């Protein structure tokens, strides 16, 4: 049987393309002050970027984080989730594209690329435009494009992204993310495509560009891992994708 071609590379946004830890912590503190009777200062998880990041790495979904670490009820979690996009857009904390990412995006310019994120599409687009990177992406699917109950790790946003990028053409898709949630999204997408009879296989890549810690020790390990952005080019080349060097 002939191997399926690589048809797309889809990126997570927060912690994958861009270091957004400071901004997301700022937004979360504001959300808590709005929806919870307890001040943000009473929650150890919101004391610092380090405590915030450590807790996020222990959960499988944003709802689990809100329930277990922010001590919110289901109703309050829903309320906070609905406010997330607008709070993101109004927060002015700066974010930074990871070093090496622009080089990789340029090297993959012949491959359809998209973004599949829990962040706001408008917020993502603004950050990418400010870094002159938005033209690399044929689809950006954020929080607004997916029903509230169908956010990551459900596959709906990824399916929408691929509809826009490839028309759901048969092939292999590489999903790149910094959290186990992205691996679960790939797994759920593969189940969806199997049920629907769509000949698409999603492979996951776990990345950690900030500390270089391996993702192979995640409870659900990815198919590939990278601690430097440049390693993505090697994986894409191994999958038969076109890679430009010296970009």
Please, are residues 56 and 218 in contact by the beta-carbon 8 Å criterion? no
Q: What is the number of alpha carbons within 13 Å of residue 160 lying toward its C-beta?
A: 19
User: How far apart are alpha carbons 176 and 6 in whole angstroms?
Assistant: 14
Please, are residues 179 and 56 in contact by the beta-carbon 8 Å criterion? yes
Res 210: pLDDT: 83
| Token pair listed for 85 | 């996009």
Please, are residues 176 and 10 in contact by the beta-carbon 8 Å criterion? yes
Q: Which pLDDT band holds residue 216 (cuts at 50, 70, 90)?
A: low
Res 232: pLDDT: 97
Residue 68 or residue 215, greater confidence: 68
User: How far apart are alpha carbons 146 and 226 in whole angstroms?
Assistant: 28
- pLDDT at position 71 over 60: yes
Per domain, the residue ranges of the chain are 6-18+95-238, 21-90
Select from 95, 90, 92 the least CA-distant residue to 13: 95
User: How far apart are alpha carbons 200 and 211 in whole angstroms?
Assistant: 32
User: How far apart are alpha carbons 225 and 213 in whole angstroms?
Assistant: 10
**Given the structure tokens 């679960």, which residue do they identify?**
184
- The pLDDT tens digits of the residues spanning 138-170 come to 999 998 899 888 999 999 999 999 999 999 999
Predicted TM-score of the model (pTM):
0.91
The dihedral sign for the CA sequence 135, 139, 141, 147: positive
- The pLDDT tens digits of the residues spanning 161-199 come to 999 999 999 999 999 999 999 999 999 999 999 999 999
- pLDDT at position 60 over 90: no
Res 1: pLDDT: 43
Q: Hey, which residues does 125 pair with through a beta bridge?
A: none
Question: Which positions ≥6 away from 171 have C-beta within 8 Å?
Answer: 4, 5, 6, 7, 8, 199, 200, 201
CATH domain 6-18+95-238 topology: Rossmann fold (3.40.50)
């Amino acid at each position: 049987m002939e191997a399926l071609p690589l048809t797309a590379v889809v990126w997570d946004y927060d912690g994958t393309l861009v270091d957004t830890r400071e901004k997301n912590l700022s937004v979360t503190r504001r959300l808590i002050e709005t929806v919870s009777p307890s001040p943000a200062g009473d929650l150890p998880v919101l004391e610092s970027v380090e405590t915030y990041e450590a807790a996020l790495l222990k959960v499988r979904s944003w709802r689990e984080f809100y329930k277990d670490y922010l001590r919110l009820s289901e109703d309050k979690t829903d309320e906070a989730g609905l406010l997330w996009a607008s709070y993101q857009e109004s927060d002015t904390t700066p974010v930074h594209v990871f070093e090496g990412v622009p080089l990789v995006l340029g090297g993959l310019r012949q491959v359809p690329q998209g973004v599949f994120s829990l962040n706001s599409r408008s917020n993502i687009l603004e950050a990418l435009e400010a870094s002159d990177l938005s033209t690399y992406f044929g689809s950006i699917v954020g929080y607004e494009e997916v029903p509230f109950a169908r956010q990551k790790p459900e596959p709906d946003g990824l399916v929408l992204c691929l509809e826009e990028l490839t028309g759901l053409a048969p092939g292999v898709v590489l999903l790149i993310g910094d959290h186990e949630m992205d691996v679960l999204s790939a797994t759920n997408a593969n189940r969806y495509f199997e049920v629907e009879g769509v000949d698409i296989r999603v492979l996951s890549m776990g990345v950690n560009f900030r500390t270089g810690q391996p993702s192979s020790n995640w409870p659900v390990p990815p198919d590939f891992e990278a601690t430097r952005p440049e390693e993505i080019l090697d994986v894409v080349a191994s999958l038969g994708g076109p890679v430009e060097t010296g970009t």
